[in-house]
Amino acid sequence: MSDPGSETAGRDRTRAHIVSVAAGLLASGGRDALSTRAVAAAAGTQAPTIYRLFGDKEGLLDAVAEFGFTSYLRDKKARPPAGDPVEEFRAGWDLHVGFGLANPALFSLMYGDPQPGRRSPASAVAFRMLGERIRAIAAAGRLKVGERLAADLVHSAGTGVVFTLLSMPEERRDMRLSEVARDAAIAAITTDAPAVETPGPAAAAMALRATLPDATALTDGERHVLGEWLDRLAVGPA
Amino acid sequence: MSDPGSETAGRDRTRAHIVSVAAGLLASGGRDALSTRAVAAAAGTQAPTIYRLFGDKEGLLDAVAEFGFTSYLRDKKARPPAGDPVEEFRAGWDLHVGFGLANPALFSLMYGDPQPGRRSPASAVAFRMLGERIRAIAAAGRLKVGERLAADLVHSAGTGVVFTLLSMPEERRDMRLSEVARDAAIAAITTDAPAVETPGPAAAAMALRATLPDATALTDGERHVLGEWLDRLAVGPA
DNA sequence: CTCCTGTGTTATCGGCGATATCGCCAGGAC
DNA sequence: GTCCTGGCGATATCGCCGATAACACAGGAG
């Protein structure tokens, strides 16, 4: 281990090669084409190598999913930021649905056959991206439900749309479904009139201060303390 | 074949027995527990019998899915018609989501790993039921999109919600997700005027929640408590 | 030079879906 | 009553799968 750089480089290189070959097999032959033997043969190596590098088959599948997903993102990521967080959200939705339709086997790998608690690294990446978009909407004062619920709702709608479209013959897919579902999700989690005009906690605190009497979810005492804190926040970090 | 009645009766009986045993295996051990050998052994028969009765493994899976789905419907179908088609729709949604959460392996069998054009008999039954509910809404003059698009949208939302909930650990599942998604779907396909949107404190609370880490005017403890209150405000008056 | 770790290679295990083959027996044909 | 035949149970088998044990070999560490 005196030369870990080149050693792990060689290791990483064969690993990347196997993942790339496996992704090709998956895309061309579907999930069933991705057997350890087929991958090993196509990569010019042996079955035990896969287990040394990936632990087990699930490790290989995770690596393939992450590779395919990030590759797709890299190819498509020429999009300039739109400014409006809801417009950014739309772009993210379309990107994700496009990924699912372009890589059905990969998408099924990431989201099909769900197991409680288990989440593939690739879908974790996707969910984190979604969380950032949701947060941006919230920071703009246009989110009317909790961030977590919003993210779950959008995730549900997106995966559902992709699965539904994938179950149809390709020529019968109605892409309006994606748009309608997308806008329905937006309508469910956002408000048209932004509650906050300027970014930062101060403006948000002021906006909340104004609607505080309507905050019936809090007790009188909580409302009182909250009011004091909001006053401090409205002044700013002085 | 002079006595087709009793002959096919015996055939149907063993068939039903195998399906019932297989459903039990699937419910207890998950999808992987449903191997032809395991089913044959548990049913007290031999592997070739399964192929004689069901053609191949997919035929067996279809039969199991249909059996499980119709069994669930039979057990739960004590619901009296509600009159209002949208209310009927709500009941159907809740029934379907309940089925998915109660039978995760069956649900994955029906909707996971989608293949273009292929639709399991069980999901065909479910989709037909959905179509009837949609048609009733249309007949009442309250559908604002095409029946087909409406059905696809609802199907997407429903399967997406179930998959999302199934991917979470059981104790972390937020059942509001199903309700919010359901009502969002209703809002997207019906002409019912959505509840008048009073801004309320939710959006401002979410805006502040998103920028909370920047709120340097508060101590860590205050920020923590404030975060909990803001989450409650996002849910609304409960 | 010797050891020791990591890799390539072969062989193998138990299980899977699917099928060929054969003995058997019930029921109709005559 | 006897023969024939079609479907069933049972066994064995094929090819493939995921996974792992066992072993030969290379090449740096000491």
Instruction: Find chain A residues with C-beta within 8 A of B236's C-beta.
Output: 217
Q: Residue B103 and residue A99: Cα distance in Å, rounded?
A: 29
Q: How far apart are the first and last CA of chain A?
A: 53
Q: Residue A142 and residue A190: Cα distance in Å, rounded?
A: 5
Confidence of residue B80 (pLDDT cuts 50, 70, 90): confident
Tell me what the pLDDT averaged over chain B comes to. 87
Across A141-148, average pLDDT? 86
DSSP state of A80: P
Say if residue A7's pLDDT is above 60. no
pLDDT at A9: 60
Which has more pLDDT, A179 or B227? A179
In degrees and rounded to multiples of 5, residue A143 shows phi and psi of: -95, 125
Are residues A176 and B216, on separate chains, in Cβ contact within 8 Å?
no
Tokens, residue A18: 């196997």
Across A94-111, average pLDDT? 94
Which of A189, A197, A228, A229 is the best substitution to test chain B (most B C-beta atoms within 10 A)?
A229
Say if residue B5's pLDDT is above 60. no
Q: Residue A168 and residue A196: Cα distance in Å, rounded?
A: 42
Say which nucleotide is closest to residue B2, CA to C1' distance: C28
Percent of chain B with pLDDT over 70: 91
Q: Which residue of B has its CA nearest to A225?
A: B226
Does the nearest atom of strand D lie within 7 Å of A31's Cβ?
no
Confidence of residue B6 (pLDDT cuts 50, 70, 90): very low
Task: Work out the minimum CA distance from A216 to partner chain B, whole angstroms.
Answer: 6
Say if residue A93's pLDDT is above 80. yes
pLDDT at B1: 40
Confidence of residue A220 (pLDDT cuts 50, 70, 90): confident
pLDDT at A5: 37
Q: Which residue of A has its CA nearest to B216?
A: A237
Say if residue B13's pLDDT is above 70. yes
Say if residue A2's pLDDT is above 90. no
Q: What pTM does this model have?
A: 0.87
- Do the Cβ atoms of B208 and A205 come closer than 8 Å? yes
- Do the Cβ atoms of A134 and A150 come closer than 8 Å? yes
pLDDT at A4: 39
How open is the CA angle B226-B199-A190, to the nearest 5 degrees? 85
At residue A161, the 3 state secondary structure works out as helix
pLDDT at B8: 52
pLDDT at A67: 95
Tokens, residue A180: 């309608």
Are residues B156 and A164, on separate chains, in Cβ contact within 8 Å?
yes
Across B92-120, average pLDDT? 93
Which has more pLDDT, A79 or B13? B13
Does the nearest atom of strand D lie within 7 Å of A3's Cβ?
yes
Are residues B233 and A212, on separate chains, in Cβ contact within 8 Å?
no
Q: Which residue of A has its CA nearest to B175?
A: A149
Each residue's pLDDT tens digit, B152-192: 999 999 999 999 999 999 999 999 999 999 999 999 999 98
Which stretch, B35-39, B74-78, B191-195, B197-201, has highest mean pLDDT?
Answer: B35-39
